[in-house]
Amino acid sequence: GAVVSQHPSRVICKSGTSVKIECRSLDFQATTMFWYRQFPKQSLMLMATSNEGSKATYEQGVEKDKFLINHASLTLSTLTVTSAHPEDSSFYICSAHPSGPRVEQFFGPGTRLTVL
Amino acid sequence: AQSVTQLGSHVSVSEGALVLLRCNYSSSVPPYLFWYVQYPNQGLQLLLKYTSAATLVKGINGFEAEFKKSETSFHLTKPSAHMSDAAEYFCAVSDQPGNQFYFGTGTSLTVIP
């Protein structure tokens, strides 16, 4: 149990286009989902915290108009990278916290974004 | 505020040798502590977690970690390394369920045959 999926796993796009990444909790409900960005050989950097039915909370330095986050249901959060540029190329990972008292987060397999 | 320090960005051990990955934390409240493993181009898999119950926590794949409050440490160990243990390991801390995790910078484990 506690599986989180991400789609797509890889995406290549042209500079200036927008890309949507989906994060789904497959067998549990997640009140809170998190979006992270990971550069090669580095740790995960939290971008934003997404709560179902409310606006996402962005970390300092993350442009909310560029990285649009929607958490429309208890099993789905989406991250849209708008007007992507080469510097947005990265590995994006989501995690989901199950509703209730469990303390751990469950991570998706990640999405490799390459912007040409 | 919470933070995590992982000493040693790269650790190499021989197959069959003891694995020791270090993690020290800083937290203003009793922490929840986690170890995750990441294989190339994959997400993070939970190895084990500390939630203020037993201080010695056993996880998957033979790993365990001991919470030492006096040393603010949560080091990860495995008695005998296997080739399949080669991966990136992250220590993380949180202050309560549903709140963000603070990750360490990660330790890359290499297992030498």
Distance, CA of B88 to CA of B86 (rounded, Å): 7
Res. A1: pLDDT tops 70: no
Q: What is the mean pLDDT of chain A?
A: 92
In this complex, the residue of B49, B98, B105 whose CB is nearest that of residue A97 is: B98
Mean pLDDT of A86-108: 91
Q: What is the mean pLDDT of chain B?
A: 93
Q: Which residue has the tokens 């959060």?
A: A77
What tens digit of pLDDT does each residue of B58-96 get? 999 999 999 999 999 999 999 999 999 999 999 999 988
Give the three-state DSSP class for B84: helix
Distance, CA of A63 to CA of A26 (rounded, Å): 29
Mean pLDDT of B34-56: 90
Q: Does A105 touch chain B (CB under 8 A)?
A: yes
Q: What is the pLDDT of residue B5?
A: 93
Closest CA to B1 of B24, B31, B22, B23: B31
Q: Does A43 touch chain B (CB under 8 A)?
A: yes
What is the number of other CB atoms lying within 10 angstroms of the CB of residue A64?
13
What tens digit of pLDDT does each residue of A11-56 get? 999 999 999 999 999 999 998 999 999 988 788 899 999 988 888 9
Q: What is the pLDDT of residue B98?
A: 83
Per-residue exposure over A66-90, b if at least 16 CB sit within 10 Å of its own CB, e if not: ebbbebeebbbbbbebeebeeebbb
Interface of B with A in 24-83 (CB under 8 A): 32, 34, 36, 41-46, 49, 51
pLDDT band at A101 (very low <50, low <70, confident <90, very high): confident
Q: Report residue B45 CA to chain centroid gap.
A: 11
**What are the distances in angstroms from CA A59 to CA A9, A34, A63, A90, B57?**
24, 11, 9, 17, 32
Distance, CA of A29 to CA of A64 (rounded, Å): 25
Give the three-state DSSP class for B60: helix
